[in-house]
Structure formats: structure tokens, C-alpha cells
Chain A
Amino acid sequence: MPEPILAVTGVSKTYKGGFTALHDLDLTIHKGEIFALLGPNGAGKTTLISIICGIVTPSTGTIRVAGHDALTDYKAARSRIGLVPQELSVDMFETVLATVTFSRRLFGRSGHSAYIEQVLRDLSLWDKRHAKIMELSGGMKRRVLIAKALAHEPEILFLDEPTAGVDVALRRDMWKLVHRLRERGTTVILTTHYIEEAEEMADRVGVINKGKLLLVDEKTALMQKLGKRELELTVVEPLDAVPDGLERWQLSLANEGKTLRYVFDSTEEDTGIPSLLSALADRHIAFKDLETSKSSLEDIFVELVGERA
């Protein structure tokens, strides 16, 4: 089996004040995948990224980037990583071209103009290359941060909340960019609390809360395993309460008694739907509409965070 592009082993972080941001965390990332780290605010996502990138010192644990130890062989490790931070942290007095060239050189590369031109064109920044960053819109500034992170041709790109506060069009553009990067073989690790972002882009998903990695799984497998389905029955006559004798389905009433809701596990052999419909017929409860829906990654996330917190 090929060596993972990133291996985090037993990493924890306790700050001087005694607050523990990460607890003994293990994570393995494979080359070329898109990994989404989901978690609420303060879960430890940014701390984990900061430790991997060398911005924060871990209290315990090891990090290996393409086989290189991130502490003892930090130059080899860091030269493979690009980071797009959550905040719009960029020197506002610089021009786009100057700041991107600076980033490329800082990471040990010569000022390769053809590659920088390509990156700027990919991000629709080429026409703005001589503009000062302070003159750009918020969305454009975020593109500049991505260009800076990509300037040294990293093998791993970290996107920390990449679409926080950006409009829908830019969000879609970024998703396209991430897919293009994956096609070129770049590993992308993104943190987000927008579930749709993970659902749209990720191959695998990790859920983190209170500094603990609750689970890591393939996105589709996760949704299959934990995905619950919901049956909604619109009854003809509104009900005051769930009728007696239907307790085993744990139904709930919604929409002022017009909707009966049943949550079932689609992977079970007996979903309980035929028997429920039969039980309703026995009680002369007629319905005029029936609809099933699949729980989203968001539902799974909320459930996980709620259950295991």
C-alpha cells in the first residue's frame, strides 16, 4: 500500500491556559483525495491545520507529510503544503502579481512567471495582476489567497473555510477549482461547516467536535451507513394526536396534524412501511399523499455531534 501523503498520529494540543483543543488525534490522508473536515465552530479544525502547517506547535504526536516528519524535516514537509487561511490575511499595499511571486519564492521556488500566469488566469486574476490588493473585492481577495497558496505548486492544499462569506457564484467557482486541482493530482483538505460543500466536493469526510475526531469515512458510505430516510404521509383529516396502537413506529405529527412523519432505516430488511400503512388502513386513517426523503450529510453531522459530544 502506498505511503499516505499525510499521516497524523497521536496529535494533541493543550494551550498554556489549560484548554485542550485537540485530543490524541489520528488521521491519514491519501494522495489525490478531497477530504472534508466537518465540525462546528471551535471544534479544533483550524488548530489541526495550523499544527500540520507549522503555525502551532503540537503538545504531543507526530505528523508526516509525504514521508517527511513535519517537525524534524520541516522544510521538505512544508514545501509540499499550501494553506488558504480562513481570514483575508494579505498585505493590502502589494499588487496581486508581487504578492503571489513573493509566496512562490518564500517557499523556495524561483519566480517562475509562466506558472504564476497560469495560476492567475485559472483564478481570473490575470487582468488584475497589477492592481493593489486593497482595490479588490472580498471575493477577489480570497482568490488571491488561493493563488498565493498554489504559487509553489503544493502537493497538498489546505482550504480553511474556503467559502465563508463568499457569494454563490464564487463558491461554485471554487468548487470547480478544487475538482480541477484533484484532476492534476493535488490532495485537497478542506474544513467547513457548510455541509453542502462537503457533500458536493469530498471523497471522504471526517467529523470533529471538541477536539476529538468522531469518525472518518467515505462520504457515500457514511451517508449509506448513517443515512436515515423519512416517510411523510399527508392525511385527509387532520389528527389531534398520534393514534393509539401506532407506538412501535414512533411517529410524529407535523403541519398542524396534517402530516404523519415516520423515520426508518433503509438498510433494514423490514423498513416497517407496509405494516404501518396496513395499521393506518385498519384505523380508517386515509392519506392523500406520500413522500420519502433521504437525510443529508447535515442531518448526519448534527446527529453525530449531538450524540457523541
Chain B
Amino acid sequence: MNLHGIWAIYRFEMARSLRTLWQSLVGPVLTTSLYFIVFGGAIGSRMQSVDGVGYGSFIVPGLIMLSLLTQSVGNASIGIYFPKFTGTMFELLSAPISAMELVLGYVGAAATKSVVIGAIILATSAFFVPIRVVHPGAMIAFLLLTSVAFSLFGFILGIWAKSFEQLNFVPLLLLTPLTFLGGSFYSIDLLPQPWRTISLFNPVVYLISGFRWSFFGQGDVDIVVSLAVALAFLVTCLAIVAWIFKSGWRLKN
């Protein structure tokens, strides 16, 4: 196994974030604070608790998941798109490194950054609302599973994209709406029919529900179903990445 190669990519990607450390840290903290001021303070004070949980605390898992998804996709997609954009992809393709090792480097770095940001948001939330985590092990597992799965998704997006416009297209027009409609700020049980049923076709619902279950011991859907959907998404992304490297799609002529 080319451990030096994996480490080189991982370090390179992490160093790229460290160059914009201020932006990487301040962005999530500021955004989280604004969400708590608007949703927790202005709106939340007028809302009753949801499923016995104060509204401010209720939105914490959704807020973390919102950032986790966008950061995972954003970091991984730019990580692999950038060598294509600058023309340095030739070095990756000509190196003695397997597809799996390449993915470990890029996806590992993107997932690490997302988890760190998730932890920062969690810490920031603690300043505004009481936080309790009923199943900490499950919370960490969901955090890792989601960040890895969506980093893989971002990796695929980065390989697919032929321009920065395409790179931004999926997060902006697909991921953000799915996350907002996936129960980040509400329980889908509050939705009238047929919107509740329609929501069940949104995979993000299962991720947020599962993550919320790890905090409060209850979610919109069964934890086993949430876990199965997250795993299925991970396996699908892995299969697509494997096919990309086997076929050379958008990588090799």
C-alpha cells in the first residue's frame, strides 16, 4: 500500500484548508450563531417544544448535519476538481497509487475537515442552548458515516464537473433544498399529508433523523432505517467511484 502517497494527498488537502484557517473556523461559528439568533431567539421563543425538546436544542443536529453535508461535498469536490482545473491531474494519474488510495487521501481529508467543523458547530451551540447527547457513540458513528458518504459524493461531483458553475450547481440546487426540506429545522411529523409522505423520498430526512436520534433518543424515522439509508448511500457512492476509476470516465481520455 502506498501510505506515503495517501499521506501526501491528505496533508496537501489539509494544508489547503489551513491556509484559509480563519475563514474555515469563523464561517461556521458565525453562521451557527446567526441561526440561533434568528431561529432560536426570534422564532424559537414563540414556539413550543418539539417532541419534548426545546426548539433551540431541537435544531442543533439539523444545523450540524446541514454544515456537514455542504462542507463534505464542497471540500471533496474542490479537492479533486482543482487538479483537473490546474492540469496537475496528470501527476495523480501517473503516480503508483491505486484508486482506493487516492480516495482515502481526498475523501479522508474532506471528511476530517467536515467532522472538525461539525464539532465546532456543536461547541458553538452549547453557548446558546443546553446540549445533551443520549447516544454519543451513535452520534460519532453518524457523524463519520455521513461525512465520508457525502465526501465520496463530492468526490464524484468534482470528477463530473467540467466547470466551476457545474461544481456549484449540485450543492446549490440539489443539496441545500434537500437539507432544508429534510427536517433540519422541524420534525417532518409536523408536515400535513401528502408532504410528509413526499419527504420520506428525501434521503437527507433519514440522515437528520438518525443523527437527531443519537442526541435525543427519538427521530422522525426508525434508527435502523436511518442507518440502512446512510449505508446504502455510502455503498452506492463507493460503487460509482470504483466504476469511474475502472472506466477512466472524465479522468482519462
List chain A positions with a Cβ less than 8 A from chain B: 15, 50, 53-57, 74-79, 81, 83, 85, 87, 89-93, 98, 101-103, 105-111, 148
Q: Are A55 and B96 in contact (CB under 8 A)?
A: no
Q: Are A75 and B98 in contact (CB under 8 A)?
A: yes
The residues in B between 130 and 159 inclusive whose CB is less than 8 angstroms from any CB of A are none
Q: Interface 1/0s, chain B 93-113, versus A by CB < 8 A?
A: 111111000000000000000
Q: Which residues of B contact A107 (CB under 8 A)?
A: 4-5, 95-96
Q: For residue A261, give the distance in angstroms from its CB to the closest CB of chain B.
A: 46
Q: Which residues of A contact B92 (CB under 8 A)?
A: 106
* A-B contact sample (5 more), CB < 8 A, given A15-B253, A55-B93, A89-B87: A56-B252, A90-B86, A92-B86, A98-B15, A102-B11
Q: For residue B81, give the distance in angstroms from its CB to the closest CB of chain A.
A: 13
B193: interface (CB < 8 Å): no
Q: Are A74 and B96 in contact (CB under 8 A)?
A: yes
Q: Are A79 and B86 in contact (CB under 8 A)?
A: no
| Assembled-state Cα–Cα distance A54/B252 (Å) | 9
Q: For residue B8, give the distance in angstroms from its CB to the closest CB of chain A.
A: 3
Q: Which residues of B contact A93 (CB under 8 A)?
A: 16, 19
B39: interface (CB < 8 Å): no
Q: Which residues of A contact B95 (CB under 8 A)?
A: 78, 106-107
Q: Out of B4, B16, B87, B88, which one reaches A108, CB within 8 Å?
A: B4
| Assembled-state Cα–Cα distance A172/B253 (Å) | 34
Q: Are A105 and B7 in contact (CB under 8 A)?
A: yes
Q: Are B94 and A55 in contact (CB under 8 A)?
A: yes
Q: Out of B2, B8, B98, B253, which one reaches A56, CB within 8 Å?
A: B253
Q: Interface 1/0s, chain B 240-253, versus A by CB < 8 A?
A: 00000000100011
Among residues of B, the one whose C-beta sits closest to the C-beta of A54 is B94
| Assembled-state Cα–Cα distance A106/B83 (Å) | 14
B91: interface (CB < 8 Å): yes
Q: Which residues of B contact A92 (CB under 8 A)?
A: 86
Q: Are A55 and B87 in contact (CB under 8 A)?
A: no
Among residues of B, the one whose C-beta sits closest to the C-beta of A160 is B90
| Assembled-state Cα–Cα distance A77/B204 (Å) | 43
Q: Out of B5, B19, B88, B253, which one reaches A89, CB within 8 Å?
A: B88
Q: Which residues of B contact A85 (CB under 8 A)?
A: 87, 90
Tally B residues with Cβ within 8 Å of A.
28
Q: Which residues of B contact A109 (CB under 8 A)?
A: 4
Q: Which residues of A contact B5 (CB under 8 A)?
A: 105-108
B12: interface (CB < 8 Å): yes
| Assembled-state Cα–Cα distance A148/B94 (Å) | 12
Contacts A56-B253, A78-B95; is A110 near B4 (CB within 8 Å)? yes
Q: For residue A164, give the distance in angstroms from its CB to the closest CB of chain B.
A: 15
Q: Which residues of A contact B8 (CB under 8 A)?
A: 101-102, 105-106
| Assembled-state Cα–Cα distance A159/B1 (Å) | 28
B205: interface (CB < 8 Å): no
Contacts A57-B248, A89-B88, A106-B91; is A75 near B96 (CB within 8 Å)? yes
Q: Are B7 and A55 in contact (CB under 8 A)?
A: no
Contacts A85-B90, A92-B86, A105-B4; is A57 near B252 (CB within 8 Å)? yes
| Assembled-state Cα–Cα distance A75/B8 (Å) | 16
Q: Out of A75, A89, A148, which one reaches B2, CB within 8 Å?
A: A75
| Assembled-state Cα–Cα distance A98/B12 (Å) | 9
Q: Out of A15, A83, A105, which one reaches B90, CB within 8 Å?
A: A83
Among residues of A, the one whose C-beta sits closest to the C-beta of B7 is A105
Give the most central of B4, B19, B82, B94: most A CB within 10 Å.
B94
| Assembled-state Cα–Cα distance A53/B92 (Å) | 11
Among residues of B, the one whose C-beta sits closest to the C-beta of A80 is B96
Q: Which residues of A contact B80 (CB under 8 A)?
A: none
Contacts A75-B2, A106-B97; is A90 near B9 (CB within 8 Å)? no
Q: Which residues of B contact A53 (CB under 8 A)?
A: 90, 93-94
Q: Which residues of A contact B83 (CB under 8 A)?
A: 91
Q: Out of A81, A105, A111, which one reaches B94, CB within 8 Å?
A: A81
Q: Are B96 and A78 in contact (CB under 8 A)?
A: yes
Q: Out of B4, B11, B88, B248, which one reaches A91, CB within 8 Å?
A: B88
